[in-house]
Amino acid sequence: MAVTAPVDDRPRAADVHRVIAPAFDPEFYRAIYTDLPPDMGPLWHYRMAGWQEGRDPAPWFSVEGYLTAHPDIAAAGVEPFWHFLRHGRHEGRDIVPSRHAAAYFAQVGWTPEPWSLEGFAAARGAADGQRRRRVSAPPLTALERAAVEAEFDSAFYLALNPDVAASGMDPVDHFVRTGWLEDRDPNARFSVLDYLDNNPDVAAANINPFAHYLTAGRAEGRSPRHNLGFRYDVIARLKPVEARIADAVTASARLRVDPPGRLLIALGALGDLHMTLSHDNYVEHSGGLQACVRREAEQFARRGVAHLHIYPAKPWPVVRASGEAGPLGVLLNGRRLGVFAPDAVANALRAATSGAGRRSFAVHSLLGHEPDATADILNAAGLSEGFFWLHDFASLCAGFHLLRNDVEDCAAPPADSAACAVCAYGATRARHVEAHRRLFERLAITVVAPSQTTLEFWRAHGDLPARAAVVLPHARLEAGRPARRSRTPRPFRLAYLGMPTPLKGWPVFRDLAQRFEHDPRYEFLHLGGAPDPSAPAAFHKVVVTADRPRAMQETLDELEADAALIWPLCRETFSFTAYEAAAAGAAVLTGPDSGNVAAFAADPAVGRVLADEQALNAAFDTGEVLALGRARRKAASYTLAYSGMTADLVS
């Protein structure tokens, strides 16, 4: 388990403008809303008043429809078009077209020009400097059209392009007329962008690349997409750490802090108190670490101990240096008290804890915190001894996943190694290690590792002056019983659990599913919050919430998955998904660099550790993996018993 990327839900005006401007359709807006003041731009009007009056920004998007379908967005008071473009489309949220769309199209006749997503795509491309200047698509011949229709995947296209789905337009038509000009792909196996990059002759001819591939390119041996592997894309998109830090500095400096007196009043006089620090607001964000802090808070609450959580009010990619502004968010028993300067937090705590009481603390992540300010705050509350959790390896490197350039486990080599020299995180590694060293020098720290393998690795690759170290797993399997398994023969079911991200190994699953898509021996399942049609896998929506903490395990069990591919690129300190899979009776299939997952799956009763992605493919090729079928394995299912986190360590 590791820190998940923090998300700031509150949009800034500049961000709203940047995100919606390219997708906003001014012609549509002016044509439909004839009452606009003549001297006011349509986008300006929409942003300032229009959306709150239920006016739609483009023919394919209904403000009212979006807010009705998603009451949480309506309740948050967030501008819906921005929300959809920034978050909603990635979360698989539905949209409906404007009720004015039909009238508008009838009025203007259909032409590509009103489709503002062209502008959107152009702006997106311009940002990465790769956009070619293509403005119109020549018509296809009947032969080309038939070839395109034969291999076009409408479901794929509509799933990836909800705007097209909402418009009701025929997806092939859309692709042929403008879609390819916007780098939209016709199926999961063909990349418009790659094909045009690899074939400058096709790009120069301004012809439909998919049609070219089907009618000529394929026979000429041209590739439908680059064969550089998903890691090439990850490297190409990697944002320099220095730029990420600069963004955090700017965002933090812009924050307005609340008056210190407010915190003083809100805290009152605290008796028994447990304090936690992490990289974000665990109430607002979900993820493994956040669930751990939530559980820890619940355990202390049961004992009648108050819980105070401190986090950087703006997300940070690294620990904060002393000169960098870092307003802190404060939660008391899950309730947000506001945003305060670190010294204001220390002063308020000093006053609030002047009375007697049991006190304890746990640092779950130092991201966004400055070590001396952190020690000052804890000292102010009378604390000098506490716990530091190894949820990730931030105490060894700024690249806290130990994933060199976000593509390969690095195993924390010497800081002066060639690997660190070429790694995007190399230059900031010392900053991270020294910040943690400072914290460990100021406080008496007991390190808590959620797995033995994590503790051993941490000890072998660092030298922070911890007072003691313990292992406390987040969960364990209890009370085994035979797992559900049907008697009728069926294909082997391999599941992927959770968000389809490279970090968690989605591309490995996708490539495997694509390769064995038509092999009758296998079925591929994806259980998560949002589908990704690039993998031919049956999607099952599963959202783990506080009310349904075992949703993943239950669904996996119902679907009788034979195995789960838990193939994170990074070394996990503790993988909840691996434990959920095992608890549901699915074998855990993983690679050697997955940390706690590999240690867990090394037990033949749990799963299998394969040498690399080549070995994974070979296991499916030969059918060796079929030995992990529920029936052949006589699979067992278990109850997952969670720890009480730091509460288990504090008497």
Partner 1 sequence: MKILCYSSFTFSYLNRARVLFQTLREHHPDWELAALITDRPPEGFNFDPAAEPFDRLVWASDLNIPNFQSWLFKHDVVEVCTAVKGPFIHQACDWGFDAVIYMDPDTAALASLSPLEGWLEDHDILLTPHLVDANDDDAAIRDNDLSASRTGIFNLGFVAIRTTGEGARFAKWWNDRLLSYCYDDMPNGMFVDQRWCDHVPALFDRLKIIRDPGYNVASWNLSTRKVTVEKNGTISVNGAPLRFWHFTKLGAVGDAMTKRYAGTNFPVYEIWAWYKRQIQAATDPTIPDRWWAFGAYDDGRPIAKRERVLYRERIDLQQAFPNPFASGRGSFQEWLEHEGA
Q: Interface residues with partner 1 (CB under 8 A)? A: 226-229, 231-232, 235-236, 238, 240, 404-405, 407-411, 413-414, 417-424
| Strand locations in 313-461 (E) | 328-332, 335-340, 359-363, 385-389, 403-404, 408-409, 444-449
Q: How many of the other CB atoms lie within 10 Å of CB of 38?
A: 4
Lateral strand order in the sheet of 468-471: 335-340, 328-332, 306-312, 273-277, 359-363, 385-389, 444-449, 468-471
Measured from the CB of residue 232, what is the shortest distance to partner 1 in angstroms? 5
* 431 contacts 456 by C-beta, under 8 angstroms: no
Nearer to partner 1, 405 or 446 (CB): 405
Dist CA 605 CA 603 (whole Å): 5
| Strand locations in 300-396 (E) | 306-312, 328-332, 335-340, 359-363, 385-389
Nearer to partner 1, 197 or 258 (CB): 197
Nearer to partner 1, 143 or 243 (CB): 243
Measured from the CB of residue 142, what is the shortest distance to partner 1 in angstroms? 34
Measured from the CB of residue 278, what is the shortest distance to partner 1 in angstroms? 29
Which of 569, 561, 407 lies closest to 496 in space, CA to CA?
Answer: 561
Nearer to partner 1, 286 or 405 (CB): 405
Burial (0-12, 13-18, 19+ Cβ within 10 Å), 267: buried
Nearer to partner 1, 168 or 229 (CB): 229
Measured from the CB of residue 138, what is the shortest distance to partner 1 in angstroms? 25
Measured from the CB of residue 196, what is the shortest distance to partner 1 in angstroms? 12
Strand-pair category, 328-332 with 335-340: antiparallel
Measured from the CB of residue 574, what is the shortest distance to partner 1 in angstroms? 22
Measured from the CB of residue 207, what is the shortest distance to partner 1 in angstroms? 20
Measured from the CB of residue 415, what is the shortest distance to partner 1 in angstroms? 9
Nearer to partner 1, 54 or 200 (CB): 200
Q: What is the 3-state secondary structure (H, E, C) of 12-44?
A: CHHHHHHHHCCCCCHHHHHHHCCCCCCCCCHHH
Nearer to partner 1, 205 or 418 (CB): 418
Dist CA 407 CA 419 (whole Å): 12
Q: How many of the other CB atoms lie within 10 Å of CB of 449?
A: 24
Measured from the CB of residue 199, what is the shortest distance to partner 1 in angstroms? 11
- Distance from the first to the final alpha carbon of the chain: 26
Residue 559 tokens read as 């679907």
Dist CA 85 CA 67 (whole Å): 14
Burial (0-12, 13-18, 19+ Cβ within 10 Å), 520: exposed
Dist CA 309 CA 277 (whole Å): 6
Measured from the CB of residue 422, what is the shortest distance to partner 1 in angstroms? 4
The continuous run of DSSP H or E covering 617 comes out as helix 613-622
Measured from the CB of residue 430, what is the shortest distance to partner 1 in angstroms? 15
Nearer to partner 1, 198 or 374 (CB): 198
Measured from the CB of residue 412, what is the shortest distance to partner 1 in angstroms? 9
Nearer to partner 1, 240 or 259 (CB): 240
Dist CA 56 CA 33 (whole Å): 9
Dist CA 82 CA 279 (whole Å): 25
Measured from the CB of residue 234, what is the shortest distance to partner 1 in angstroms? 8
Measured from the CB of residue 614, what is the shortest distance to partner 1 in angstroms? 11
Nearer to partner 1, 212 or 429 (CB): 429
User: What is the per-residue DSSP string for 308-333?
Assistant: EEEEESS--SSPPPTTS---EEEEET
Q: What sign has the CA pseudo-torsion 26, 27, 30, 33? A: negative
Nearer to partner 1, 225 or 350 (CB): 225
- Indicate the Cα dihedral angle 519, 521, 525, 531, nearest 10°: 10
Measured from the CB of residue 611, what is the shortest distance to partner 1 in angstroms? 14
Nearer to partner 1, 159 or 235 (CB): 235
Nearer to partner 1, 211 or 609 (CB): 609
| Residue at token pair 């301004």 | 206
Nearer to partner 1, 326 or 507 (CB): 507
Nearer to partner 1, 423 or 439 (CB): 423
Q: What is the 3-state secondary structure (H, E, C) of 525-543?
A: EEEECCCCCCCCCEEEECC
* 264 contacts 354 by C-beta, under 8 angstroms: no
Dist CA 66 CA 73 (whole Å): 8
